[in-house]
A and B are shown apart, each in its own frame.
Chain A
Amino acid sequence: MNLIEPAQLPPSLIIVPILGALVCFILPGPWSGRVGLLTSALTVVAAGLSTWAVLAEGSQRHELGGWAAPLGINLYLDGLAAVFIAMVAIIGLLVGIYARSFYATESDQHGTNALYWPLWLTLWAGMNGLFLSADLFNLYVVIEVVGLSAVALAILSGKPPALLAGLRYLLAAIVGSMAYLMGVALIYAEVGALDLTVVAEALDGGLVPRVAFGLMLAGLMVKTALSPLHFWLPAAHSAAQPPVSALLSALVVKGTFYLILRLWVDVFEGSITYAMGQFLGALGAIAVLWGSYQAIRQSRLKLVVAHSTVGQIGFMFLLFPLITVAYEGWGYAPWLAAAWTGGIYQALAHGFAKAAMFLAVGVYVLAVGNDEKDSMVDLVARLPMTTFALALAGVSLIGLPPSGGFVAKWMLLKAAFSSGQWWWAPVIVLGSFLTAGYVFMILRQAFAPAREKLQLRPVPRAMEVTALLLGVGSILIGLRAEEVLLLLDVDAPFEEPVEPEEGGAP
């Protein structure tokens, strides 16, 4: 590790993909893909080194240009950030491999296929920036980078449904980030600082920080598509091309979820009340039930998967009521670790599973020619590998053991029971049940025999393999939770205090 100074790693996570994006944009089509994959590989290496550095040496703080806070902008890499960076890196690389094969099969009417790479790499840089930034305004900038490049990716196909959904997505993104920025302005008015740590220390409850946090939360909720603000998501995610859908659904919504989580535990812990936690949990519960129910009702496969995202995001928000009791003067509670890991595991497991699912559905659509549920017959026999990938992803989404989703739901349910907030238990159970409904709705169809001989288009092997790898990944993270938990433990907001009276938050 002497070769690279650990504190230099955070900026490389942003600079490498940005440079790659620029090069990809300039180079002609065929080269774009090669350089894109190379950049992806380099970013994965940087992410791997960062994760390793956090595990080995603890959190890393990088002062951009050598300026310390409050004047300068800091990048801060702790366990939580490392987990999300690693998730984006792994999923992003696999989706990139898939995308290369996918665009090779696709006709390129508008000459836009090669734009996938610069846009995705910009998005990736933005995501990494989002996970690393320790500055409220810098976060606004990266949110906008993420939002704009995500919309641009979503409309890559140039088809009218994608364009319409893209405009709606863009407007939602602008409203969301403006609400966030309004909150930032109020915070600055109150404390005159932007660095997360400085702000956290200066805040001491009161009305203005609450209003500010409410605005920021509302804005980020729009972008995370927490119901009832998910109106833009199903259309945008289902109309995009398969690799893009996978990125949007599996990764992009996690970015703003991460930010809400970060603000909740690290910045505004003094302003948060029990009722706020319950409110977010209630919205999450509505999302779980409504999103999953809508998924069952869809007749097009991509819409099923997109609505499923709405429901699964709801599960992630069940984290908030369960960690919020701590701020009622409890300091530390034994179930906090369970709730914390449960919510984050849900984000991870959903990332892998949803990416696998969209990629698998992409293979189906490519082979069959449309995404009507009723056309997807006999695919167990015709595309066994992809169907298996889909089944594995489904198992993780439902939360059946052994899978990442199982660990997530186990922890959440455990925290719900031990904290006495048992009313989240029926939500989790019913949500899993509804999830099983739409997952097996797809699989059942795949077992049905074809009435006439199906003519399937050939699908590149790489597409099937990457989908399967992601599906296997969603299971594997459930078999070995230890490392992820170790990583999450680095500067976790809830550490077991030496004395029970002491506050648990840093």
Chain B
Amino acid sequence: MNLNDWIPLIIVATSLVPGVLIFFLHENQTGVRTALNLTGAVVKVLLVFAVYFGVQRGETYTFRYEIGVDLEFLLHIDLLSLLFATLSAILWLVTTLYAIGYLEGSPYRRRFFGFFSICVTASTGIALAGNAVTFFIFYEFLTLATYPLVVHRGTEEALQAGRTYLWYTIGGGTVLFVGVVWLFVLTGSVDFGDTEALQALAAENETQLVILFWVLVAGLGVKAALFPLHGWLPVAMVAPAPVSALLHAVAVVKAGAFGLVRLVQDIYGVELAEDLNLLTPLAVLAAFTILYGSLRALTQDDLKKRLAYSTVSQLSYIAMGVAIPGVTVATGALVHLVHQGLMKITLFFCAGNIAETLGLHKVSELNGIGRRLPLTMGAFTLAAFGMIGLPPLAGFISKWYLGIGGMEAGQSWIVVVLLASSALNAAYFLPVIHAAWFRSPDREWKIKRTARFLETPWTLLLPAVATAVTSLTVGVFAATEWSPLELARQVAESWYSRR
């Protein structure tokens, strides 16, 4: 093994080691804790970038470890894993900064930051997993590490939410477990991307493969919040804002969506999945979830819940995109993985700022807050416009590729779904924006946080503004060589050139 082969493990360790060390620190050693967290996050980002250039040069990064019998732990970095790993590495750095500001002075921060880093470890592991077993290991690891964060506040509501969260995710996990073992029995230990083993079985075991596909979808669908398995997500919003922002907008839900991508492309392969008539039902289910999530979002008065239903809806863009064959539509789906993450994390940061600065949680309470929190609401507006799909923002790019790709694939119905969903997005975001900027304040604000020059402490403001600006930048510069779009296009092309 040369150094390159250890790099995947090191990338995973950059968040695991700080996470574990934090548990050994004292609650009051804030300085050391912060230093550990930020060092880990920065190193992770740098490593991921270094690996990105390495992969472009054609180097391979593969870490193998035999657990025993034929259980193999495999980390492998391909372009798709880089897409997800980069996203989670960068957003972890930003969110760490935010969380330091957000939780300042609150109890049990040691526990919070420890588990937070471990969650990031799990999502990085999911990104780098090179076979279904490794994927499953990190998938369950993520479930466990998130639980303490959901119940962090220890209130009755948080504990209740924790229970719902667990029933859904442990249930999904066990179903996925059955699916993974089943897959293993059929094909033996197979790396992601090697679809031939299953293709060879297709002729004789058609029914079995169809059932297996849906078992795996059911297992992954819980985290990907596919209807009807999405129920945990809005409930889990009781967690502190950084958790909702990074985990429930990005890491956890993306783990599910990412798994669906792996399932369709790297386990079954589009061709086989199409032959077995698996894709259209999945696309329809995803389309239904898109509309359902948006409709439910309309009626939520709690800002975070509204954002949660919006997540349910937006996530299924990814599932819908991979369930339709074609390079363009796949590019759209993959790039949405990144774009949606940037926009949604911005929205959650802003929601956290509003709650933390003015003590407001409900949409109906937001009248006139644009005057008090101009930068926060500016970021919010930018991200919301992106979600709706206004050019040249990030959301527009994804929707454009999805729509064009759908038409290319001869499935124009998805354009209708996209348009309907955009209209619904507008319907639930615009009232918030309108109220914030154009109505006058109608209530006393309980000012909880102040800063000397800014509307709120810089640790809370900077992450929100930075991610908002990034979501604008990736849209404007989508055509350049280093954009997420370009990376997504490369991944999509690699799939379709493989056959």
Tell whether any CB of A sits under 8 Å from a CB of B in the complex.
yes
- Which residues of A are at the interface with B, using a C-beta cutoff of 8 A? 337-338, 341, 378, 380-381, 384, 395, 398-402, 406-407, 409-411, 413-414, 417-418, 425, 429, 432-433, 436, 440, 443-444, 447-449, 478-482, 484-485
Interface residues of B in 45-85 (CB under 8 A from A): 66-69, 71
CB distance A447 to B67 under 8 Å?
Answer: no
CA distance A400 to B171 in the complex (A): 12
CB distance A444 to B67 under 8 Å?
Answer: no
**Which of B71, B147, B154, B162 is A407 in contact with, Cβ under 8 Å?**
B71
Chain B residues with Cβ below 8 Å from A432 are: 174, 177
Interface residues of B in 383-421 (CB under 8 A from A): none
CB distance A413 to B144 under 8 Å?
Answer: no
Chain B residues with Cβ below 8 Å from A411 are: 69
CB distance A407 to B144 under 8 Å?
Answer: no
Chain B residues with Cβ below 8 Å from A400 are: 140-141, 143-144, 173
CB distance A444 to B159 under 8 Å?
Answer: yes
CB distance B162 to A444 under 8 Å?
Answer: yes
| B137 in contact (CB, < 8 A) | yes
- Nearest to A447 among chain B residues (CB) is B151
CA distance A399 to B162 in the complex (A): 20
CB distance B159 to A418 under 8 Å?
Answer: no
CA distance A425 to B173 in the complex (A): 14
- Nearest to A335 among chain B residues (CB) is B185
Q: From known contacts A395-B144, A418-B185, infer whether A413 and B177 are also in contact, taking CB-CB under 8 Å.
A: yes
CA distance A267 to B428 in the complex (A): 72
| B371 in contact (CB, < 8 A) | no
Q: How many Å from the CB of B132 to the closest CB on chain A?
A: 12
Chain B residues with Cβ below 8 Å from A401 are: 136-137, 140-141
CB distance B71 to A417 under 8 Å?
Answer: no
CB distance A429 to B154 under 8 Å?
Answer: no
Chain B residues with Cβ below 8 Å from A444 are: 151, 159, 162-163
CB distance A436 to B166 under 8 Å?
Answer: yes
- Which residues of B are at the interface with A, using a C-beta cutoff of 8 A? 23, 66-69, 71, 107-108, 111, 136-137, 140-141, 143-144, 147-148, 151, 154-156, 158-159, 162-163, 166, 170-171, 173-175, 177-178, 181-182, 184-185
Q: How many Å from the CB of B220 to the closest CB on chain A?
A: 16
Chain B residues with Cβ below 8 Å from A478 are: 67
Chain A residues with Cβ below 8 Å from B144 are: 395, 400
Q: How many Å from the CB of B170 to the closest CB on chain A?
A: 5
CB distance A337 to B181 under 8 Å?
Answer: no
Chain A residues with Cβ below 8 Å from B111 are: 380-381, 384
CB distance B181 to A447 under 8 Å?
Answer: no
CA distance A484 to B144 in the complex (A): 27
Chain B residues with Cβ below 8 Å from A481 are: 67-69, 71
CA distance A229 to B346 in the complex (A): 59
Interface centre among B66, B67, B107, B171 (most CB of A within 10 A): B67
CB distance B69 to A485 under 8 Å?
Answer: yes
**Which of B69, B107, B156, B166 is A341 in contact with, Cβ under 8 Å?**
B69
Q: From known contacts A402-B137, A414-B185, A444-B159, infer whether A407 and B68 are also in contact, taking CB-CB under 8 Å.
A: yes
CB distance A410 to B170 under 8 Å?
Answer: no
CA distance A290 to B184 in the complex (A): 30
Q: How many Å from the CB of A33 to the closest CB on chain B?
A: 30
Chain A residues with Cβ below 8 Å from B163 are: 440, 444
Q: From known contacts A401-B136, A418-B185, A436-B166, infer whether A449 and B154 are also in contact, taking CB-CB under 8 Å.
A: yes
Chain B residues with Cβ below 8 Å from A380 are: 111, 148
CB distance B136 to A447 under 8 Å?
Answer: no
Chain A residues with Cβ below 8 Å from B140 are: 400-401
CB distance A407 to B177 under 8 Å?
Answer: no
Chain A residues with Cβ below 8 Å from B181 are: 410, 413-414, 417
CB distance A482 to B178 under 8 Å?
Answer: no
Q: How many Å from the CB of A99 to the closest CB on chain B?
A: 27
Q: How many Å from the CB of B172 to the closest CB on chain A?
A: 11
CA distance A402 to B72 in the complex (A): 12
CA distance A429 to B178 in the complex (A): 8
The 5 closest A-B pairs by CB, nearest first: A481-B68, A401-B137, A417-B185, A449-B154, A413-B181
- Nearest to A432 among chain B residues (CB) is B174
CA distance A429 to B144 in the complex (A): 17
Chain A residues with Cβ below 8 Å from B170 are: 398, 433, 436, 440
Question: Can you list 14 A-B contacts with CB-CB less than 8 angstroms, sorted by A residue number?
Answer: A381-B107, A381-B108, A400-B143, A401-B136, A401-B137, A402-B141, A407-B68, A410-B71, A411-B69, A413-B178, A414-B184, A418-B185, A444-B162, A447-B148
Q: From known contacts A417-B181, A433-B171, infer whether A448 and B71 are also in contact, taking CB-CB under 8 Å.
A: no
Interface centre among B23, B137, B171 (most CB of A within 10 A): B137
- Nearest to B183 among chain A residues (CB) is A417
CA distance A417 to B158 in the complex (A): 39
CB distance B154 to A447 under 8 Å?
Answer: yes
CB distance A448 to B159 under 8 Å?
Answer: yes
CB distance A447 to B159 under 8 Å?
Answer: yes
Chain A residues with Cβ below 8 Å from B175 are: 429
Q: A429-B174, A485-B69 are in contact. List 16 more A-B contacts (CB 8 A).
A: A395-B144, A398-B170, A400-B143, A401-B141, A406-B137, A407-B67, A413-B178, A429-B177, A432-B174, A436-B170, A440-B147, A440-B166, A444-B151, A447-B154, A449-B155, A484-B68
Q: How many Å from the CB of B75 to the closest CB on chain A?
A: 14
Q: How many Å from the CB of B187 to the closest CB on chain A?
A: 12
Q: How many Å from the CB of B208 to the closest CB on chain A?
A: 10
**Which of B69, B141, B147 is A338 in contact with, Cβ under 8 Å?**
B69
CA distance A378 to B155 in the complex (A): 11
CA distance A401 to B69 in the complex (A): 16
